[in-house]
């Protein structure tokens, strides 16, 4: 084999001439020519290159420093020949213990190995080191072994798909089979994701400087994608790539409304910056994928239209609108027809299926932000996960965080809070209130809570006959009418605190609070 002529894949086991001497007559200084035993019938025809595997193992034993070049991507299971995989694994173990990996040091591990005896005994290891020219092409061999392993895995997945599709003995569920197939294909692609993950400090600093420059040019507070709310942008710097942002709250607090507002603002800003000629990597908005497991796509669209047209959302749903309001609605619908906001309202999605759909949207539409409403409605992919809900939620949050890092997009995941909030006098939510928390708090880069005192105050209305109490209740109700807070309970990039906002209930729209509006006494952090 020549370094300048990398071996080509062999779809059948090659046979090297000259059988090796009997195992009991072989000494370590007597190299054994490479001899391949006939493969099992079910493996014939699979893409493989045993010569490349043998050459790579020989190169690794000649120069152990090459281990560092290939170990990040290549694993023992990528070798078509099981014996080669075990030898490779043994070399890695010795290298990890800072021991030299040579035929001599490997000898005790394979003296009684049946497959090694079939190859002619331990002299086979010495035979692998005879081709010193393989040193120059070791990385090429490793890359080809990995590629051929992926091809074999693709063939296996294809066979499994065909077998499952042909089996009609059990309940036929084509869509579930498609989801399972997508998951299997993703696992094949996922095997190489670690490659290229390491960046030099120089590259990392350039990215940090670019982010700081972007924040400075946006007015000194927006380094990520906009939320559409100046106060929130100032506090968290926008939505950052690879971040998992959890937005939590009790029912009726406005979680979905805030998420919808953010999704719309981000998609609209993308179009605005694009029209202004802003470069793609400096755009403060992005196309958005909204996975709505609770509301239908038309309900979400109704919210956005109500927000942008100023038409009461409840009246809109019931058809109690005037011709003038309908005209405003129609104009808003026309203006938003090209909005890069993609809604998937498939119910009961699994985390694996969501990740598959998100990757597809990223590829087809270049989405830059993902919203999930809400994570407790997602299902885990593991069998029996329903027996341990906390473990299932942990799997889901880890999956969302992995998705954020994989696609390099912020993921905004909504979450319910436990009823513990209702049992306290102070209704402000806390991190411990995260329902079935598992690793929600741990995996999230930012945790936001939506809180509207107005809602809880309305439940405390005293008897109208008690004029004094009722008057005080009404005075406070007027003061806090429409006021809302977003509590930044956790933030890896900055400080925690409270962001004051205004909530317009009729149009389900959050907005920045005017400076002179009533602000409840600041709570200690």
Q: Which is more confident, 179 or 510?
A: 510
Q: What is the pLDDT of residues 257-274, one digit of tens each?
A: 888 889 888 988 888 888
Residue 317 has pLDDT above 50, yes or no: yes
Mark whether 97 and 238 lie in a shared domain.
no
Angle between helices 351-365 and 389-407 (to 10 degrees): 20
- pLDDT classification of 154: cutoffs 50, 70, 90: confident
The answer to the question of residue 458 being in a domain is no
CA distance 243 to 410: 5
pLDDT at residue number 410: 92
CA distance 5 to 143: 14
Residue 85 has pLDDT above 80, yes or no: yes
How many domains is the chain partitioned into structurally?
Answer: 2
Residue 444: partners with Cβ closer than 8 Å, 6 or more residues away: 244, 245, 246, 397, 401, 490
Residue 491 has pLDDT above 60, yes or no: yes
pLDDT at residue number 385: 45
Mark whether 321 and 413 lie in a shared domain.
yes
Mark whether 118 and 31 lie in a shared domain.
yes
The answer to the question of residue 106 being in a domain is yes
The answer to the question of residue 328 being in a domain is yes
Q: What is the DSSP string of 100-143?
A: ---HHHHHHHHTT-HHHHHTTSTHHHHHHTT-GGGGGGHHHHHH
The answer to the question of residue 60 being in a domain is yes
Q: What is the pLDDT of residues 190-240, one digit of tens each?
A: 555 444 444 555 555 565 566 556 555 555 566 788 888 888 888 888 888
CA distance 200 to 461: 61
The DSSP call for residue 276 is T
Mark whether 263 and 118 lie in a shared domain.
no
pLDDT at residue number 415: 86
pLDDT at residue number 436: 59
Q: What is the pLDDT of residues 25-53, one digit of tens each?
A: 444 555 555 554 444 434 457 888 888 88
pLDDT at residue number 81: 87
The answer to the question of residue 28 being in a domain is yes
Mark whether 139 and 249 lie in a shared domain.
no
Mark whether 282 and 404 lie in a shared domain.
yes
User: The whole model's pTM is what?
Assistant: 0.62
- Average pLDDT value for residue range 121-139: 81
pLDDT at residue number 97: 79
The answer to the question of residue 190 being in a domain is no
> Are 485 and 525 within 8 A, CB to CB?
no
Residue 393 has pLDDT above 50, yes or no: yes
Domain extent at residue 148: 23-152
> Are 236 and 446 within 8 A, CB to CB?
yes
> Among the three residues 445, 461, 480, which one is the final residue of a domain in this structure?
445
Mark whether 148 and 229 lie in a shared domain.
no
The answer to the question of residue 119 being in a domain is yes
pLDDT at residue number 36: 46
Mark whether 123 and 228 lie in a shared domain.
no
> Among the three residues 152, 167, 198, which one is the final residue of a domain in this structure?
152
Q: What is the pLDDT of residues 343-363, one digit of tens each?
A: 888 877 778 778 878 888 888
Mark whether 276 and 415 lie in a shared domain.
yes
pLDDT at residue number 273: 85
Mark whether 229 and 125 lie in a shared domain.
no
- pLDDT classification of 524: cutoffs 50, 70, 90: very low
The answer to the question of residue 289 being in a domain is yes
Mark whether 227 and 146 lie in a shared domain.
no
Q: What is the mean pLDDT of the chain?
A: 76
pLDDT at residue number 516: 59
CA distance 177 to 172: 9
Mark whether 141 and 237 lie in a shared domain.
no
Residue 287 has pLDDT above 80, yes or no: yes
pLDDT at residue number 59: 87
Q: Which is more confident, 247 or 438?
A: 247
Residue 425 has pLDDT above 60, yes or no: yes
CATH code: domain of residue 129: 1.10.860.10
CA distance 236 to 219: 14
CATH code: domain of residue 372: 3.40.50.300
> Among the three residues 136, 152, 168, which one is the final residue of a domain in this structure?
152
């Amino acid at each position: 084999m020549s370094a300048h002529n990398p071996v080509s894949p062999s779809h059948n086991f090659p046979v090297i001439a000259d059988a090796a001497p009997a195992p009991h007559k072989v000494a370590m200084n007597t190299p054994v020519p490479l001899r391949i035993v006939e493969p099992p019938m079910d493996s014939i025809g699979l893409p493989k290159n045993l010569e490349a595997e043998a050459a790579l193992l020989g190169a690794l034993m000649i120069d152990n420093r090459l281990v560092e070049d290939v170990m990040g991507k290549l694993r023992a299971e990528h070798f078509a020949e099981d014996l080669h995989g075990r030898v490779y694994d043994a070399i890695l173990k010795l290298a990890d213990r800072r021991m030299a990996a040579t035929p001599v040091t490997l000898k005790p591990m394979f003296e009684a190995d049946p497959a090694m005896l079939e190859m002619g005994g331990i002299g086979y290891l010495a035979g692998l080191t005879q081709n010193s020219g393989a040193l120059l092409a070791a990385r090429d061999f490793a890359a080809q072994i990995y590629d051929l392993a992926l091809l074999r895995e693709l063939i296996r997945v294809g066979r499994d798909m065909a077998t499952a599709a042909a089996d009609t003995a059990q309940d036929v569920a084509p869509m579930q089979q498609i989801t399972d197939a997508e998951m299997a294909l993703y696992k094949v692609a996922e095997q190489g994701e670690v490659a290229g993950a390491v960046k030099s400090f120089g590259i990392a600093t350039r990215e940090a400087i670019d982010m700081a420059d972007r924040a400075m040019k946006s007015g000194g507070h927006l380094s990520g994608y906009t939320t559409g709310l100046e106060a929130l942008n100032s506090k968290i710097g926008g939505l950052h790539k690879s971040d998992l942002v959890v937005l939590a709250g009790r029912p009726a607090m406005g979680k979905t409304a805030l998420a919808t507002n953010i999704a719309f603002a981000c998609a609209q800003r993308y179009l605005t910056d694009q029209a202004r000629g802003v470069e793609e990597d400096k755009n403060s908005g992005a196309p958005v994928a909204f996975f709505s497991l609770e509301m239908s796509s038309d309900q979400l669209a109704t919210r956005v239209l109500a927000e942008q047209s100023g038409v009461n959302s409840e009246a809109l749903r019931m058809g109690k609108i005037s011709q003038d309001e309908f005209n405003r609605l129609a104009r808003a619908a026309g203006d938003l027809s090209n909005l890069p906001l993609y809604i998937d309202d498939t119910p009961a999605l699994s985390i694996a299926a969501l990740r598959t759909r998100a990757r597809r949207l990223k590829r087809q539409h270049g989405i830059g932000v993902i919203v999930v409403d809400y994570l407790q409605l997602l299902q885990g992919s593991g069998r029996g996960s329903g027996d341990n809900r906390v473990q299932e939620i942990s799997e889901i949050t880890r999956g969302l965080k992995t998705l954020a890092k994989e696609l390099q997009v912020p993921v905004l995941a909504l979450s319910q809070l436990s009823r513990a909030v209702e049992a306290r006098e102070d209704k402000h939510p806390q991190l411990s209130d995260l329902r079935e928390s598992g690793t929600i708090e741990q995996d999230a880069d930012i945790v936001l809570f939506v809180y509207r005192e107005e809602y809880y105050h309305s439940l405390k209305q005293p008897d109208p006959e008690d004029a004094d109490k009722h008057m005080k209740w009404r005075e406070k109700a007027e003061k806090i009418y429409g006021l809302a807070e977003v509590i930044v309970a956790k933030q890896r990039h900055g400080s925690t605190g409270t962001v004051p906002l205004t909530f317009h209930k009729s149009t389900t729209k959050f907005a920045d609070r005017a400076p002179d509006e009533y602000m409840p006494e600041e709570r200690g952090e």
